[in-house]
């Protein structure tokens, strides 16, 4: 599990947050068994936080960039009304097959619509307005996803962007992905269309609210 706080502190925070439930535990186990990168999954703390945010703003339509094995999509779907939807984009059909196996075991799975393909293209075909957008895919494309998301977001809606502290690499960026996150964070901070806060939850979560 990727975390910037000591693992014991992370575990404590998890134990004192609303649990995610058995389908999520199965999803964690399957992702460990059947993928090489289980750490990509948002996990229980961030999952609970996303679920809470979706419920807190009364979201009905959510867009996600980066489905992987479906943990965050299902977490957000749980907080939606019966006629709500999460549209989730990913290029990896094998990971999404694992997601679909688990979504089908939850009464909230039917609220999730999966779109397979390169999200830099498929996001253009998504019709807004969305109440909340969660961005958690290739870091080099974050600016593309952000601009497309903002154009499709209702005034007052939220964009949440994962991995924006990038394991601390934002402090001394070297790799292309480090530099992309640094450029992204600076772009958001300079953007008058929004207000934002960069939270130190897990690997850094940028919360962005589109000004009404
Ligand atoms: C960090 S994982 C998402 C984790 C997910 N939110 C969860 O909770 O399990 C990132 C995902 O982005 C996807 N991805 C990377 N580049 C992409 C692209 N250009 N278009 C669509 N998906 C992409 C990867 O296939 C991967 O599944």
The secondary structure of 169-198 as a DSSP string is TTSS--SHHHHHHHHHHHHHHT-TTEEEEE
| Residue from 68, 97, 102, 134 to probe ligand 1 pocket by mutation (most atoms less than 8 Å from CB) | 68
Reported as a single tens digit per residue, the pLDDT across 152-205 is 999 999 999 999 999 999 999 999 999 999 999 999 999 999 999 999 999 999
Question: What whole-number distance in Å separates Cα of residue 20 and Cα of residue 8?
Answer: 19
Q: Distance (Å, rounded) from C-alpha 148 to C-alpha 124?
A: 7
Q: How far, in Å, from the CA of 69 to the mean position of ligand 1?
A: 9
Q: How far apart are CA 59 and CA 157, in angstroms?
A: 9
CB atoms within 10 A of CB 83: 8
Structure tokens at 55: 């419920």
Q: Is the CB of 90 under 6 A from ligand 1?
A: yes
Q: Which atom of ligand 1 is nearest to the CA of 118?
A: 20
Q: Would you state the pLDDT for residue 1?
A: 55
**Ligand 1: which of 138, 143, 203 to mutate, judged by most atoms within 8 Å of the beta carbon?**
138
Q: How many Å apart are CA 178 and CA 186, to the nearest integer?
A: 13
Per-domain boundaries in the chain:
7-210
pTM summary value: 0.98
Q: Which atom of ligand 1 is nearest to the CA of 95?
A: 27
Quick one: which atom of ligand 1 is closest to the CA of 70? Answer: 9
Query: Which residues in the chain come in under a pLDDT of 50?
Result: none
As a CATH number, domain 7-210 is 3.40.50.150
Greatest C-alpha distance within the chain: 45
Contact 50, 207 (CB under 8 A): no
Residue 76 CB less than 6 A away from ligand 1: no
């Amino acid at each position: 599990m990727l975390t910037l706080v000591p693992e014991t502190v992370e575990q404590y925070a998890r134990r004192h947050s609303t649990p995610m439930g058995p389908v999520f535990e199965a999803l964690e186990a399957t992702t460990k068994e059947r993928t090489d990168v289980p750490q990509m999954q948002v996990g229980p703390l961030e999952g609970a936080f996303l679920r809470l945010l979706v419920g807190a703003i009364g979201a009905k339509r959510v867009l996600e960039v980066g489905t992987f094995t479906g943990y965050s999509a299902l977490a957000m779907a749980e907080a939606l009304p019966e006629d709500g939807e999460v549209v989730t984009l990913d290029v990896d059909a094998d990971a999404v097959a694992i997601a679909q196996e688990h979504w089908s075991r939850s009464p909230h799975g039917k609220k999730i619509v999966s779109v397979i393909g390169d999200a830099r293209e498929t996001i253009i075909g998504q019709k807004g307005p969305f109440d909340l957008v969660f961005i958690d895919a290739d870091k080099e494309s974050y600016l593309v996803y952000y601009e497309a998301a903002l154009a499709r977001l209702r005034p007052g809606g939220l964009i949440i962007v994962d991995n924006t502290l990038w394991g601390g690499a934002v402090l001394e960026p070297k790799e292309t992905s480090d530099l992309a996150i640094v450029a992204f964070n600076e772009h958001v901070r300079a953007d008058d269309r929004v207000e934002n806060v960069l939270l130190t939850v897990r690997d850094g979560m940028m919360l962005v609210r589109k000004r009404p």
